[in-house]
Amino acid sequence: MFKKILIANRGEIACRVIKTARKMGIKTVAVYSEADATALHAEMADERVFIGPAASAQSYLSIEKIVDAAKQTGAEAVHPGYGFLSERETFAEALRQAKIAFIGPNVHAIAAMGDKIESKKLAAKAKVSCVPGFIGEIHDLKEAAKIAGEIGYPVMVKASAGGGGKGLRIVWAENELAQAIQSSQHEAKASFGDDRLFIEKYITEPRHIEIQVLGDKHGNVIHLGERECSIQRRHQKVIEEAPSPFLDEKTRAAMGAQAVALAKAVQYESAGTVEFIVDKDRNFYFLEMNTRLQVEHPVTELVTGLDLVEQMIRVAAGEKLSIKQEDVKLKGWAVESRIYAEDPYRNFLPSTGRLVRYRPPAESITNGRTIRNDTGVYEGGEISIFYDPMIAKLCTHAATREQAIDLMSDALDHFGIDGIAHNIPFLQAVMTHPRFRAGKLSTNFIADEFKGGFHGADLTAELKDRMSAAAVFMQLREEERRRKISGQLNGTTAVSKEWTVTLNSADVYAARTMTEGRDVVAVRLGDGKASRMIEVESTWRPGEPVFLGEVAGHPVAMQVKRKSDTYALVHRGASAAITVRRPRIAALSTYMLFKAPPDTSKLLLCPMPGLVVSIAATVGQEVKAGEPLAVVEAMKMENVLRAERDGVIKRIAAKPGDSLPVDAVILEFE
């Protein structure tokens, strides 16, 4: 067994590998860029090596620097994680020549499966079901238009070296093809150093289901069941689960057999994933093979009891698999939610900055229920524009799918993050969505169910009362704290019992605290026959980012942000801005002047911190609604900014290469 390994990656996956290596008694070496000088993975490892500037092309994608770091620290093996160099055969070959073990498959398998065009040819040869399409590289727009026309729209333009949704675009009509090719090539070049593209048919109502395979250097290959990864946004997975609520035993066995056959065809060793598209009739088609550890591997670990990172390390050290296919038993259900630094209320635009608060739910294994949180960040750390926006992967495991989802809902409610925007409210809303809970999934789920964008889960009457009563409780605790400030008249601690509650600047009703104790307050909301008594019990104190307690007898967790006299609460994906004032102050507040926000209707603003890739307009040009105006890159993804209305360009305020903050002016209309 290795004594020391280097992790050629960063963030959550680097931390994940370090944990297993530590458990196995193996020392670890971290590599880090300028942007990651204080990153968690660099702090966790036994040794650390600086490898260059923040740009990944000059640091984490530099084969020479990674190999040199392994040599100078005496690392006997390298784990690539996922992304970056994990599927680059030239990296595996460079390590082989340096006599350093690669904790992954052999060079042949990486080359065969890493090229999406060649992998489809091999899959077809191995009698694996494939998606209809053109198996070959496209060279120009004219050829692409001809191929797409023959296949029939909609089609997918995909990067041959792609993965993680990068370099992938769905094209519904020929007039969208040119922009799709341009963006796919740019993303593919930036992410993989390879801008080759191919085209295949886009299957409507698809489910994305993948099979985890595991092989050794002795010809043994098994599969560990499937993962359902259909909840996607912009072709990136958001929520995954194992097993799939859709597959029956017959389909699972057939998909597993094809995945193993393909893995054996390329003499696969280590952990890998064969991805399939499955239609509504359970017909399945090979999509691609990822010759690395997947982001969503924890759900497979939770239902099989295996540590996939440990298995990869043991295989790389030459050990035989310790389990056979008949030993693989799927137990219970696991769900994973990816916590991203993005604003779901602004079309999921990336968010960067300091994590002022980062309070994940406690990891635990209790009564057959597991909460696991894989992360690479810490409170006070920075979320950079240079890398993937994932903050953490929250996983739950229970006996049934319903129990695992309920546990996830509770865990998300307990997750406190402040300082940046994040997608936890959206994840909470999905967990409570009837269609998701029914398992009626497709990769179009988010587009279908949130057509106008995400505006929060429905704020039911029950949630309004629950959140309002909690806000009254919190306001009482704030008032009590103020009364204890020295220098007040007679040192009084008396707090008003009469309140006016305003919810989302619309619902206004009276509230009265009927009884009060140290941790219990009875609140009467409303007047007359419509009034209702709600008891709130909590140990919450001012400043805590999560309210924990019981409201009307129900265990409750709510995310709390307080600005001035308003509580911004999020519970089960529903958001509410609630003010709790004394009646006299509430009455006087109606006389406050309203300050209208500035008119930005004639401006194209940068929606996120990012780098301007291109400007597609000139001063004086007439543009129509929907026309592309600029492309901004953030967190390795290109975002096309389009005109929201017809108009004439008056001024251009930015140029390609500019690094812009959020809401910076890019151009102005007349």
Q: Catalytic amino acids?
A: 288
Task: Give dist(CA 626, CA 217) in Å, integer.
Answer: 53
Residue of 120, 95, 122, 116 whose CA lies nearest to 107: 95
* CA distance between the termini of the chain: 69
Task: DSSP letter for 370, please.
Answer: E
Task: Give dist(CA 395, CA 642) in Å, integer.
Answer: 37
Residue of 228, 448, 425 whose CA lies nearest to 340: 425
Give the total residue count for the chain: 670
Sign, CA dihedral 578-582-587-590, equals negative
* DSSP annotation string for 495-520: --SEEEEEETTTEEEEEEEEEE-SSE
Task: Give dist(CA 622, CA 449) in Å, integer.
Answer: 35
- At residue 576, the 3 state secondary structure works out as strand
Q: Where are the alpha helices (DSSP H) in 162-307?
A: 177-192, 249-265, 297-304
Task: DSSP letter for 414, please.
Answer: T
Q: Are strands 498-503 and 333-340 parallel, antiparallel or unpaired?
A: unpaired
Task: Give dist(CA 328, CA 303) in Å, integer.
Answer: 10
268, 404, 407, 624 from 399: Cα distances, Å: 32, 7, 11, 54
- At residue 615, the 3 state secondary structure works out as strand
What torsion do the CA atoms of 489, 490, 491, 492 make, to the nearest 10 degrees?
A: -90
